């Protein structure tokens, strides 16, 4: 994958830019990748609701669950859909609003120094093979562009916000990702 360091855009990604971002305190400090899991409504896939959520266009009348998250202002840098499609919402050098209250290796506020990657899925259902392939290609490209990133600086949302978040869940196969990264 090709990453344009000046624009912060991934060439292979469909761009659907979100207003839910701002400047990082230190644009040179990108030192963590956070893996998330998301589906809207919960357990449903292959629709436009994630795009709508991340761009503040989610209609609360479309599903009862949406009333619970009405007014939420969140984003992620990237989403990998079940079919492997890559969508980008926030340029990589900007701060996406994906981690919330979080801490990694003694550093609070993970949004400040991380790249958030959502996988379309749930904690319980296995993620697809093409999602792992796309994720590993993306991570390898990120590691090549951002020197502070390594195969060891990848965490789940549940790792940086334990007790508050559970994603990407027990269905996420960390060993499989690690084997793809090392090949």
CA torsion through residues 121, 172, 153, 162, sign: positive
Alpha-carbon Rg for the chain, nearest whole angstrom, is 15
Alpha carbon 65 to its chain centroid, in Å, reads 21
Helix (H) or strand (E) holding 94: strand 94-96
Write out the H or E segment, with its range, that includes residue 9.
strand 9-10
Catalytic one of 12, 85, 118, 151: 118
CA angle 18, 20, 22 (to 5 degrees): 110
Cβ-based neighbour number of residue 99 at 10 Å: 26
Longest C-alpha distance within the chain, in Å? 46
Q: Is 137 a catalytic site residue?
A: no
Annotated catalytic residues are 118
């Amino acid at each position: 994958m090709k990453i344009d360091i000046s624009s912060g855009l991934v060439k292979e990604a469909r761009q659907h830019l979100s207003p839910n971002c701002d400047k990082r305190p230190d644009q040179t400090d990108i030192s963590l990748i956070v893996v998330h899991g998301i589906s809207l409504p919960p357990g449903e896939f292959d629709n436009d609701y994630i795009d709508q959520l991340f761009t503040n266009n989610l209609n609360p009348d479309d599903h009862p669950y949406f009333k619970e998250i009405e007014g939420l202002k969140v984003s992620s840098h990237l989403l990998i859909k079940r079919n492997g499609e890559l969508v980008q919402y926030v340029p990589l050098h900007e701060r996406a609003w994906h981690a919330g209250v979080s801490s990694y290796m003694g550093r609070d506020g993970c949004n400040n120094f991380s790249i958030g990657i959502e996988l379309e899925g749930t904690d319980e259902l296995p993620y697809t093979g093409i999602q792992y392939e796309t994720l590993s290609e993306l991570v390898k490209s990120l590691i090549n562009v951002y020197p502070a990133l390594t195969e060891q600086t990848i965490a789940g949302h549940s790792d940086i916000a334990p007790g508050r978040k559970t994603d990407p869940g027990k269905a996420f196969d960390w060993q499989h990702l690690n084997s793809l990264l090392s090949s």
